[in-house]
Structure 1
Amino acid sequence: MKKITIPLLCVQLCLIAMILSSSGLAMPRLAEELGFTSVQQGSMVSIQFLGFTLGVLIGGTLVDSYGGLKILRAAFAGVGAATLIFGLSRYYAMTMAGIFFIGFFGSICQNAIVSLTTSYDTKKADTNITFINVFFTLGAVITPLMLLVFTVFFGVWRITYYIIGILFLGMALYTLKYNAQSEIKTASLKNTLKQYKVAFTRPLNLVVPLTLFLYVAAETGLWGFAPMFFESRGYGKISGIAASIFIWAAMFVGRTLSVKLIKRFDMVRILLVQGLMAILSLVMVIFSNQGMAIFWIALAGFSCAPFYPLLIIWITRLTGEKSSTMLAFNMGAGALGPVVMGIFTGMIVSRYGSIYTTAVPSFAMLLAVIILFMFRNRKSEHYID
């Protein structure tokens, strides 16, 4: 059997991005077809990331117990089935079920890929994780392009989800012929709970989860609600899709640049500078017309680009923790951010109008930057630059 490779992991993360980043794109179409309100549209993001949170906490233990590749195969099949359910949905409950399991199995996929990337070459783990995350942004650009084609030329946006679901099922079958690098399987539920207890009893271990909670809320508020923001202001359905393309294209450029920047500059300094740019951009969206709003929202995407991969690396730098279980704990905390953000943004848009769509993301990013500044010089004694 073949050994798992970095190029294959890049393709898999690209595929995961195609579905995890697409819920916001479906919001206006579902509002149009099924009459979803702003609060119901916001709940889609919350439900997806509730599933993501539960999946990533369970997935960390499964990866440590059975190996990343075995879990990855099963999770790919789960995402494929959930995506087809979402694409076929004609009722609110069916839509929510599909989006929940997309989040649940998608989080397990993402956790397994990060684990496999880390174990592939532990000496180059930081570089490899930053590199493969470039392909997440690439995948996130592909989906709105597909939606644009199928919406404009065929008038059937759901075909996008049928194709993505089939691709996931195909990837689950394709990975049957691969083996991972040797993995140590030492986890159990007892050990997992013990590690979580340690995290809660050591205040420093809660810094990264809190920062991820705030950042992921901000990022998801950006790409998750951009289509609804533009379409609800009367700019047309193409404007929402175009905004998503600009956001993820800008993120792709930003993450490609961050691969080079991390070799020359301290990761926290990079995050502080780009975090301030993101706050400015998100605030300016509120006070801008269509053209400038797209500019500011794309700049926000560029500014957010390095955050997720570098914060994942920051876990080890700050705490010294490297297990999939603790990675899952941090990713799970991050995934709770959109659960809260989706509800609050939906309520704010419903009460005050879509012009304030970026209010919650900008405030969340501000808090994340403050925490990064406070702990900018902290390093675990086990961390080696």
Structure 2
Amino acid sequence: MENINKNRLFIASCVALLVTAMTFAIRARLETVFGPEGVGLTLEQIGWAFTPAFWGFTLAMIIGGPLVDSLGIKKITWIAFITHAIGIVWTILARDQTSLFLATLFVGIGNGMVEASLNPMIASMYPKNKTKMLNRFHVWFPGGIVVGSIVGWFVMDVMGLSWQIMVGTLFIPLLVYGFMFFGQKFPVTERVKMGVSTGNMWKSVTKPLFLFMVLCMLLTAATELGTNQRIESLLKENVTAPLLVLAFINGIMATGRAFAGQVAHRLKPEGMLLFSAVFAFLGLWLLTLTSGSMTFLAAAIFAVGITFFWPTMLSFVAEYIPESGALGLSIMGGAGMLSVSIVLPIMGNILDNASANEALKIMSVLPAILIVLFIGLNVYMRKRKPKNVEA
């Protein structure tokens, strides 16, 4: 990869993912701003207003994924920058459910384009260390949620400033990653580098193993992001500052992903996924039984569970089905976000009409199903020789 500054591109990618993650945390704080005690929307209405963050993400990935090979990583990355900027401005101007919906749509498209372009770029730049580097890249998703949670808490709860100023802080990392990407040469995707035809790429995403992983992605993403996105409503009766619990969860996730290489070497991707499902189930179930300081213990167990879900699902596909290329990674990410767009209004309805504990119990069913599925995956993978397992 001559004349490609891999280190600068990787750091810029991490900052771009930081923006994506901060939007999740700040949006979680906006739930109380636009909710019954603020603008007056019901929690179900807010759920619908927030859904474009996820299906907009899905749309961007499904459209952007195949285009990454033809248009190039660079152009898709700049589309992410532009739509991020539009979404942030529109969020600041939002006043009702419709304007919040449209603002969230542009943010979601920007987030999706970030993942559509940068996941395959990192897989291409580090072909021998996909699991490790994709986990290191995705450190900045929980890391960004920590930053966004603390920023939201500090700006609004400590400083007493407006929510518009809180949203405006997103411009800082946005401009940083725009500057770092400016004028850089980008690599081609791994599928292009391997010389895999477009026909074979599309054929690869119809393989039973790939379809199975898409099914699992629906459940892993809903478990992780559905819970984290509604943390304010789920835990407001248990602790005084739910956003600090969100920061705590994501601090653990960021630390775990930073050291994912050693874990991947010991467990392999399929082993990491089974380990994650067990802890995610235990954590969610314990959250229904605890309050006060003990909530943090349950949250820590949940955090250990969801730490490796997203990046390891992607690295599994990148390692075992590399011919799927950017399309495969985009379908996986898109499926994950689509599932969250479905689960958020459902959770909102439960929260409006029942209780937070009921919502947590229902969510715990998802990792319980995953435990069974990932046991089956481990058995299957032991019977086949992996194409390329990397630490």
CA contact 2:13–2:177 (8 Å) conserved in 1: no
User: In structure 2, do the counterparts of structure 1 residues 213 and 264 end up closer, same or farther at CA, with 3 Å as the change threshold?
Assistant: same
1:168-317 mapped onto 2 (5 Å cutoff): 168-169=174-175, 171-183=177-189, 195-196=201-202, 199-200=205-206, 202-231=207-236, 233=237, 235-236=239-240, 239-317=241-319
Choose the corresponding residue for 1:79, options 78, 84, 97: 84
For 2:41, the equivalent position in structure 1 comes to 36
Identify the residue that residue 383 of structure 1 maps to in structure 2. Answer: 387
Displacement, 1:280? Answer: 1.1
- For the Cα contact (< 8 Å) 2:204–2:324, is it kept in 1? no
TM-score of the pair, normalised by structure 2:
0.88
Contact 2:123 2:190 in 1 (8 A): no
Equivalence for 1:15: 19
Measured in 2, the distance between the counterparts of 1:217 and 1:371 equals 15
Report how far residue 108 of structure 1 moved: 0.9
Unaligned runs of 5+ in 2: none
Structure 2 residue identity aligned to 1:10? C
1:158 to 150, 156, 164: 164
1:10 Cα shift? 2.4
DSSP 3-state at the match of 1:181: coil
Please state how far the C-alpha of 1:15 moved relative to its aligned partner.
2.8
Q: Which moved more, 1:350-359 or 1:55-64?
A: 350-359
Partner of 1:326: 328
CA deviations 1:147-195 (Å, max 9, x no partner) are 11111213313212112035425533542221112457969xxx87985
Match of 1:364 in 2: 366
Relative to 1, partners in 2 of residues 1:360 and 1:192: Cα closer, same or farther, differing over 3 Å?
farther
Equivalent residues in 2 for 1:140-155, closer than 5 Å: 140-151=145-156, 152-155=158-161
Is the alpha carbon distance of 1:194 and 1:339 closer, same or farther for their aligned partners in structure 2, counting shifts above 3 Å?
farther
* Partners of 2:90 and 2:99 within 8 A in 1: yes
Supply the AA of the counterpart residue of 1:296: A
| Deviations, residues 226-264 of structure 1 (Å, cap 9, x unaligned) | 112233x2854xx12212111111212222343321122
> In the alignment, is residue 51 of structure 1 matched against residue 56 of structure 2?
yes
Rounded to whole Å, the distance in 2 between the matches of 1:285 and 1:84 is 36
CA contact (8 A) 1:248 1:301 kept: yes
Structure 1 gap ranges (5+): none
Q: Alpha carbons of 1:375 and 1:350: their partners in 2 closer, same or farther (altered >3 Å)? A: same
Change beyond 3 A, Cα 1:289–1:278: same
Q: Which residue identity lines up with residue 110 of structure 1 in the other structure?
A: E
Give the aligned residue type for 1:90.
R
Contact 2:257 2:308 in 1 (8 A): yes
Looking at structure 2, the residues matched to 53 and 134 of structure 1 have their Cα atoms a distance apart, in angstroms, of 21
Q: TM-score, normalised by structure 1?
A: 0.90
Bigger shift: 95-104 or 355-364? Answer: 355-364
Deviations 1:67-118 (A, max 9, x none): 1122102211211220221122111100011112211121111121111111
Identity %: 20
Taking structure 1 as reference, are residues 383 and 129 closer, same or farther at Cα in structure 2, changes over 3 Å only?
same
**Residue 103 (structure 2) aligns with:** 98
Q: Which one-letter code corresponds to 2:186 in the other structure?
A: A
Number of positions where the alignment pairs a residue of Structure 1 with one of Structure 2? 378
Deviation larger for 243-252 or 289-298 = 289-298
Amino acid aligned to 1:87: I
Opposite residue 60 of structure 1, the aligned amino acid is G
Q: 2: CA distance between counterparts of 1:279 and 1:130?
A: 21
